[in-house]
Chains A and B, each alone.
Chain A
Amino acid sequence: MKKQIFRSIAFLGMFSSAAMATTSIEWWHGMGGNLGETVNKMAEEFNASQSDYRVVPIYKGTYEETMTAGISAFRAGEAPHIIQIFDAGAATLMNAKGAAKSVQEIMIENGYGFDIEDYVPGVRYFYGDDKGNMIGMPFNASTPVLYYNKELLAKAGVQPPKTWEEFEGIAKKLKAKGIAAFSQSHTPWIFFENFHSRHNIMMTDQNNGFSGLPKKLNYNNKHLAMHLTKMKEWKDKGYYNYYGSNWGDNQTPFEKQEVAMWFGSSGSFGGLKKSTDFDFGTTYLPYWNSVNKDAGTTFIGGAALFSMAGHSKAEYKAVAAFFDYMTKPETQYFWHKETGYVPITTAAYELAKKDGYYKANPDAEVGILQLSLDGGEWTKGYRMGFYPQTRESIYREIDRVMSDKTSVDNALKAIVKDGEKNLSRFARTVK
């Protein structure tokens, strides 16, 4: 409290023109580089647009580090007003009764109104509770897509693959020209979670964790085992280049044209545009025809903005005003254009279309189109406690599979063992 006063005094000193009534709120995020600059721009614009509220964006490092900082701060009673929590960590927050205050509630309480139907179908329920209330605002929603180097594919006379069956033929032709087919930047996200969504396969009991606390993890299924076995085979054949568990180490080879294709995030689009000087295209995540010939939508990844509990009414009012600004079609469109993250409201999507953005940049629409594909029983999302730790186990085991230290079967067994231990420990902490 004392600190808040000091802070306000400091602000008053710095912005003597600001009215006494300015409510200042903190927004912790994990957006570095270009993304961070865009975040700062949006906050500045919001602050300039009115004089009652002031939002202060604070970069906290990676998603994991941001979440960790948030947890520590909450325990210390110093939680920020708004925090960006990534997909895998959301369950840890949403299951904790009294840690976050629902976005929907905040908006309604402060008279902004809220209609979940305003949001694009794919993002609507991912950060919602079992009753369909939105808890976190899906701020930077992305989904895994395939980027391809047009020139390299043309060299081998191939088109980007729609299915993994097609991929095998394409990779062979690329290999014949001395080109490695692909690298990918996030095994747990792209080849575990979204593999299940794309093929409509169950991830956990309790309706993927939406109707209760799950105990069973379904990763040891024959489809995933088949896919990972193939991945290892592709690596050995030189179709797939594996550069370890870091995002960047796997993205750079695509930028340096060492691989023809790269699986990354639709949110990487803006960055790639700046870092590459060759012509690249974007398309859907391939699927296995043999697993599900009607493959559908993927999960949204990225992160959502949550409002932490325990702040004053005036502060929530500021949060509501800021969220209102963030969901405005213009703001969303700006964010979408700058970064490649998908627009989260239908209105923003319509605005982008009307503006002719996709006519000029058809690739920018791929993410949102993929998220608009038909869904199934298991494509709404997933809700797993302590899941960031399970992701660490996935990284670890895949490292081992790719360096011949373990078999796919044993890796999946180890992942399920760790994952279920995390699930059951987490379930016991929820009261």
Chain B
Amino acid sequence: MIEVLYDHTGYLARGFATNLLISILSMGFGTVLGTVLGWLRARRVSGLGPLSHFGTNVCRNVPSFVLLFYMASMIPSEVEFGGTIMAVPLWIKATLALTFPVIGFTSDQSKGFFEQRRAGVSGAGEIFTIAWLQYFLIIIMASATASVIGADEIVGRANIVISQNESAQFLLVTYLYVSLWFLVTGLILSGIVKGLTRAR
């Protein structure tokens, strides 16, 4: 059992790289777009302020799990670019689905950041960074749901490994092994957050 898992470690690790890629990209896109919304809300830009408030509400309230199915069924699977047909891989759809909650989160956090900075409150940047890192952890955990639409990430790959052996024990051990990858990543991120909190 352990040998089988050892043999598949490289395969699972490449799947986990997809989880990290999905998480990093959705945090990246979401942060940029959310910061713009947050700035518009903090500045109370006429007309755009209420609109960005509504946009934030939508992003915050709609579950990423539902958005996954939404993106999977509503986004075309191929696009034509300069005469070349290109497939839209499922991990990109998962990234888009996870970008929405990040926009909602960053919009709220950056609104607070801009308001605090204007009020001259010190440490607004650190508060933002710590909250952002904690949210990154939530997004990494959420990236595991990408397997439900067939994205080729670690949980999906674990299911393929499990399908070759029907014993309950093997299934349990494989899932626990995959959990370990998430746990270690979570602990590393928490370590960084603790380090930053102490540095404040």
- A in complex with B: no
